[in-house]
Structures are given as C-alpha cells and as structure tokens.
Amino acid sequence: MTRWHQSGTRRDMCILLAEAGELRGQKLKTRLESRYDKQIEPKRYYATLERLVESGHVEKRVEGLYDVFSLTDVGRKRLEEQFEWMKASIGN
C-alpha cells in the first residue's frame, strides 16, 4: 500500500471521484463536506487535492473558469487495492 492511503480525506476524495466520474473542484468539496457533515478549510482541501494530482492519482483539467478533477487509472487501482484490503480485514 502506498502512503497516499494514510489520509482518509485523500481516500474519500478518490471514492467520490470514482462514483461521479469527474467533478468540479467546488462540487467535490461540497460532496466531501456532506459526507463529513462539517466544513473543510479551503486551504487544506485544495492542498490535499493538489497532492493527489501531483502523485498521479487524480487528473485535473480546465473547463472554462473551472478546474475539473477525475480519478486516473493509477488512482482507481490504488482505491481497489484499499477496498480489497479492507474487505479481507473485516472478513467479508
């Protein structure tokens, strides 16, 4: 397992992107905040998202005025590995 999984926020961002296919940055933040039932500081959120882009787990493209994010093949593979580990660990 790679270090990127050590952050639940990074993992959860990837899960939301896997579910949606792609999301604008603000929409992803809104969905994450809904999941956590609390606001996330923008500076922390965007730094975390940038780390995912830099590590190759998430792809960023510009669409007009908006940044749009999607999960890469590498990100999906790591997410699937995490899921398999969790599934095996809880015995299901």
Which residue shows structure tokens 């933040």? 29
63 close to 70: Cβ distance less than 8 angstroms:
no
Nearest to 5 by CA among 70, 73, 80: 80
Domains of the chain: 3-90 (1.10.10.10)
pLDDT tens per residue, range 53-72 = 999 999 999 999 999 999 99
Q: What is the pTM of this model?
A: 0.87
pLDDT beyond 90 at 2: no
